[in-house]
């Protein structure tokens, strides 16, 4: 039986070479990472320190500048506050004129508004006087026509009562929901 001693020796040499290479790579990679982390931390630290100093100096100058303008700041802040209040109030305003015009637009020529009450939330109660029952019918016809249009202001119109008074005139109490 023959044993190939050269092959065994060659394998040992190869393995040794591989270990050497691994050692070299590990050392270079480890050192590289270490140096990179040290440089990164140091660099960032120095940068932040310099940037911080520059900002502190800039802030000191700005504060000194603004210290002499405190009245202007007060005035400016007040304007902003007031405009906030004005915006809020204006956004919550009820468009009385639009509603009154809408009501007025429903009236035939023989009718007149006796009273209008806006006390309820999104509800307007109105009393309308008609000289004759023809006026009342005309009002209903106008209401039907207007409610089918896209710009009709009211979601619902409810008749509460219709009374004929001693003078022979008709009073209609009607509720408009917005």
**Residue 44 or 177 with smaller CB distance to other proteins:** 44
CB of 156 to other proteins, least distance (A): 20
**Residue 44 or 155 with smaller CB distance to other proteins:** 44
CB of 55 to other proteins, least distance (A): 4
CB of 159 to other proteins, least distance (A): 19
CB of 56 to other proteins, least distance (A): 6
CA separation for the pair 159, 138 (Å, rounded):
15
**Residue 26 or 158 with smaller CB distance to other proteins:** 26
**Residue 118 or 152 with smaller CB distance to other proteins:** 118
CB of 131 to other proteins, least distance (A): 10
* Phi-psi sector, 168: left (phi>0), alpha (psi -120 to 50), beta: left
**Residue 62 or 141 with smaller CB distance to other proteins:** 62
């Amino acid at each position: 039986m023959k044993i190939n001693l050269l092959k065994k020796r060659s394998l040992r040499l190869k393995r040794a070479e591989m270990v050497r290479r691994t050692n070299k790579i590990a050392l270079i990679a480890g050192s590289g990472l270490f140096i990179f982390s040290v440089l990164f931390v140091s660099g960032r630290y120095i940068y932040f320190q310099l940037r911080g100093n520059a900002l502190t100096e800039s802030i000191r100058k700005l504060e000194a500048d603004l210290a002499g303008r405190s009245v202007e700041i007060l005035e400016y802040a007040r304007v902003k506050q007031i405009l906030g209040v004005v915006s809020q109030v204006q956004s919550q305003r009820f468009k009385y004129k639009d509603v009154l015009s809408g009501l007025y637009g429903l009236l035939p020529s023989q009718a007149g508004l006796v009273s209008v009450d806006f006390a309820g939330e999104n509800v307007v109660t109105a009393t309308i006087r008609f000289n004759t029952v023809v006026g009342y019918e005309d009002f209903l016809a106008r209401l039907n026509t207007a409610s089918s249009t896209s710009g009709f202001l009211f979601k619902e119109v409810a008749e509460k009562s219709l009374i004929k008074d001693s003078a022979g005139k008709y009073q209609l109490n009607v509720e408009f929901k917005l």
